[in-house]
Amino acid sequence: DRAELAQHNIHAIDLVVCNLYPFQATIAKPGVSLAEAVEQIDIGGVTLLRAAAKNFARVAVICDPADYAAVLSELQSGGAVSESTRRRLAMTAFAHTRDYDAAIAAYLSRQFAPATSDELPTTFDLSLQLVQPMRYGENPHQAAGLYVAPALHPGRGGDGPLGGRLIAGKPLSYNNVLDLDAAWRAASSFTETAVAIIKHLSPCGIALADSVADAFRAALASDPVSAFGGVIAANRPFDLTAAHALEDLFVEAIAAPAFHPDAAEYLRQHKPNCRLVEIPETPISQWELRSVRGGVLVQVADRGDPEDTEWRAVTRRTPTPAEMADLRVAWLACQHVRSNAIVVVRNRATVGIGGGLTSRVDAAQLAVAKAGERAKGAALASDAFFPFPDALEVAARAGVTAVIQPGGSVRDQEVIATADQLGVAMLFTGVRHFRH
């Protein structure tokens, strides 16, 4: 009651400024305990913000320091905060408390009832926050922006694209983000030093080596023509030797856990249009989401073969140690190629990739054509079983000597017999890795 307030000489509150405890920032730090996280759950602050926002007709509520300047300007120029600004601030406050509570609920649900590979939540509440408006989307006539979902990526290392930090170059485009995400997933799926070159979501080359520079050179050699205008990801810090290895290749963007200062400076000077993104080694989300008409498809992310998977030699000849090393690289690389996918590897580097084709034999023909003479003595991976022996025959004619595939076709015995006839060693994994 205003009369009672006046009687006691109490003025009505018309401005509330409140910053909540940094819960999201706390859980983003590595190694944070449950107790430390719970300590940063704000109670009173949320109540203040909601109460003030409810009374937007006469109260201005500020929960974001970015709004300080605008409110101060209105107060200095007119002595009060306008109704339109109060309404905007109220919406901001309600959205802020919603996101805050959603982050708490998502964190605690992971702590108290961690999901398993065969469990899906009955509801999937996401709060998406715009972090980067973009010039356009896939094409210039499409509006676009990058939103992040803290509930999906609690360990984001930064506020930039892919949880990283843009340290050089122009803002990333829509297509840059898509390609860098694919490149980062491919490179970071290996424990050894690895580099992936991606263009239009398709790998041009993936390679392992003792250094980033050598891995890049090997990945580039896989398909140097297609790599022009692509993006690069390395799973180790990018040093000056790696920067020099780029030579005159046109590169849209590079992602790495870190860039050595001299490498970053060299790239700023010699490739000023190349975006450099530092992405910390944070866990990849358990979930993958794809929008479809009228809904969203949710699945557990494909992180490779389950730990208890046993590869089975099904041919008379078993792979040599060198072939086995290449088969492992081919099998993991294959999981980052659009289906139908065939990957040829030699000396721990892809030499031929055939992906995104509706016929497996066509994918095999493309992969061995890209490999050329390098297919001789190479290993080949197929993301799904061979429905017929034809793709295997294409590979063997090109010189491939070892193959890895899931198996599971009704014609498996025919394919195995063909491999034995051709002297090809073949492994069955029992796990398929389609990628659409």
pLDDT number for residue 389: 96
379-382 and 402-405 beta bridge pairing: parallel
Whole-model pTM: value is 0.83
Positions of E strands within 144-183: 144-148, 165-168
3-state secondary structure at position 118: coil
As a whole number of angstroms, the distance between CA 270 and CA 315 comes to 52
Is position 54 annotated as part of the catalytic site? yes
**pLDDT tens for each residue of the chain, 436 residues long:** 678 878 888 888 899 999 999 998 898 888 899 999 999 999 999 999 999 999 999 999 999 999 999 999 999 998 999 999 999 999 999 999 998 998 898 888 778 866 555 677 777 777 788 888 999 999 999 999 998 876 666 555 556 778 889 999 999 999 999 999 999 999 999 999 999 999 999 999 999 999 999 999 999 999 999 999 999 999 999 999 999 999 999 999 999 999 999 999 999 999 999 999 999 877 677 788 899 999 999 898 888 888 778 899 999 999 999 999 999 999 999 999 999 999 999 999 999 999 999 999 999 999 999 999 999 999 999 999 999 999 999 999 999 999 999 999 999 999 999 999 999 999 999 999 999 9
pLDDT number for residue 196: 98
Q: Which tokens sit at 283? A: 């866990």
Longest Cα–Cα distance in the chain: 101
153, 170, 200, 260: the catalytic one is: 200
Q: Domains in the chain and their CATH numbers? A: 2-112 (3.40.50.1380), 163-278 (3.40.140.20), 312-428 (3.40.140.20)
54, 244, 270, 376: the catalytic one is: 54
Tell me how many degrees the CA angle 147-151-152 measures, rounded to the nearest 5.
Answer: 75
- CA–chain centroid gap for 96, Å, is 26
Task: Give the up-direction half-sphere exposure of residue 103: CA atoms within 13 A in the CB hemisphere.
Answer: 29
